[in-house]
A and B are shown apart, each in its own frame.
Chain A
Amino acid sequence: MALKIENIRKSYGDLKVLDGVSFEVREGEILCIVGESGCGKTTLLKIIAGIEKADSGKISIKDGRIGFVFQDVRLLPWKTVLGNIEFVLGSMGMDKSKAREMVKLVGLEGFEDYYPKHLSGGMQQRVGIARAIAIDPDLLLMDEPFANLDALTKERMQCELLRIIRGKTVIFVTHDIDEAVYLADRVVILSKRPAKVVDIIDIDLPKPRDRVSEKFLEYKRRIYDLL
């Protein structure tokens, strides 16, 4: 077990966002959290990342590095592809020479010296992923990283992501059921706000998965019914 979340509650003023959320994340698994937009998924990730505080509840987490991939990417516009990766390596006190290798890993070789504005949305998010992987995270948090991409780019990125994050412990937040069933080892389903865990489903299919296979669609239907 890499992470255990127990009974997390969070409100903003009168707005109750998280209403006693509990689950575990196992070492080396991809855990997808599925829920409607605005149900508090991002808040939950921020609490796990330590940039927001829960009102109550307990998070047990091994000491280690946390990588974060943001929905809105958040690259520094004044730094190149390489510079953005070197920035987090520097801030984490790590060796910057790894940055080039990371650019290659996400398939951006040749774009090292490009500024973000010269890259497509998909390429920018590749940098976002490279940045998070570069610090060799013990836990990788991904907040709807492909939500702003077109359908084709999104499917290609999902496929490549499995290669890039192989072996990592990942929490991947999404409102896209297809994406969750394609990527996840287990799926946590959150209710509407205030969010509670409705169910946790094991996706027992070998990867890479066939998105139109009988079983794949069955999982999708099951999650859809629970939401």
Chain B
Amino acid sequence: MRILSLLISLALWYFISFFTEIPPPHEVFYKFLFLIIYEEPILGKTLIQHAEASLFRVLIASTVAFALAIPLGIFAGWSRNIREIIIPIVEVLRPIPPLAWIPLAYIIFAKLPNTVQVSQLYIVFVGAFFPCVVTVFDSARNVPEELIEMAKVYRANDWMVLRHIVLPHSLQGILTGIRVGLGVGWMSIIAAEMIASSVEGLGYFILTMYEVGGRSAEIVSGIAMIGLIGYIMNYIFIRLERVLIPWR
């Protein structure tokens, strides 16, 4: 079935490329391999180097985002008081697209010597943080009451309930939160790289290829790389869920 799905996509691609400026698959494939192996002359970097740059930014910013979002989500699910303070704030900020923060980020970080880079990290942070905190919160809030009652009968203290009941129950939510957060963070970095000169990165690469004269094979190669990496990240985490949650 997977092979069939691939064949249909390729057929569709050929069909579309016949009527538009989009280059056909074999041409892109050739260009893609070329860009992976050789440095592209304008920016002087291979596609792999651009991907590394983008991936590096995403991993740094989303690690910080998760380090805040996971405990916050757990505590908000666990304590009613914390929930009533945090959740309204989250719900107001959450619908704002990460990119809407860019101008403000430039102002906030204007005094730093590396304003652009820090702003990009900030945008990825925003992208990764909100889906993660909401998913973790949802699972931490839905811990079965009966299990907590059982723990109370056996005189478990708050710490034990948190450590042995709330946390393991929320593990699925944590993993899903990380997976979705990374996905949104990945989309955000590509967009953020397109807006300001960032020397390297997949988004910047695509934009530059457009600006030097619509090199569509290069652009589609960049897009393919973005899709490929997003797919791999998602796949790794779905696999990880099976390993880390053996009781399901």
Contacts and interface: CB of A to CB of B under 8 A. Distances in A.
A135 B147 contact: no
Contacts of A72: 146
A49 interface: yes
Interface residues of B, number: 21
Given A76-B164, A77-B247, A115-B247, A91 B149 contact: no
A92 interface: yes
Contacts, number: 49
B168 interface: yes
B152 interface: yes
A51 B152 contact: yes
Contacts of A51: 149, 152-153
Interface size class of A (residues with CB under 8 A): 20 to 34
A70 B150 contact: yes
B147 A91 contact: no
Given A70-B146, A72-B146, A78 B247 contact: yes
A76 B156 CA distance: 13
Interface in B135-156: 146-147, 149-156
Interface centre among B146, B246, B247 (most CB of A within 10 A): B247
Nearest to B164: A87
B165 A91 contact: no
A168 B157 CA distance: 26
A74 B150 contact: yes
A88 B246 CA distance: 22
Given A88-B154, A91-B160, A92-B155, A117 B146 contact: no
Contact of B246 (A49, A115, A135): A115
Nearest to B144: A74
A49 B164 contact: no
Interface in B100-153: 146-147, 149-153
Contacts of A66: 153
Interface in B165-198: 165, 168-169, 171
Nearest to B149: A51
Interface string A108-134: 000000011100000000000001000
Given A51-B152, A77-B248, 20 more contacts: A68-B153, A68-B154, A70-B146, A72-B146, A74-B149, A74-B150, A76-B147, A76-B164, A76-B165, A77-B247, A78-B168, A78-B171, A78-B245, A78-B247, A79-B164, A79-B168, A87-B154, A92-B154, A115-B246, A117-B247
29 contacts: A49-B153, A51-B149, A51-B153, A68-B150, A68-B153, A72-B146, A74-B146, A74-B149, A74-B150, A76-B147, A76-B165, A76-B168, A78-B169, A78-B245, A78-B247, A79-B164, A87-B154, A87-B164, A90-B160, A91-B151, A91-B155, A91-B157, A91-B160, A92-B154, A115-B246, A115-B247, A117-B247, A117-B248, A135-B154
Interface of B: 146-147, 149-157, 160, 164-165, 168-169, 171, 245-248
Interface of A: 49, 51, 66, 68, 70, 72, 74, 76-79, 87-88, 90-92, 115-117, 131, 135
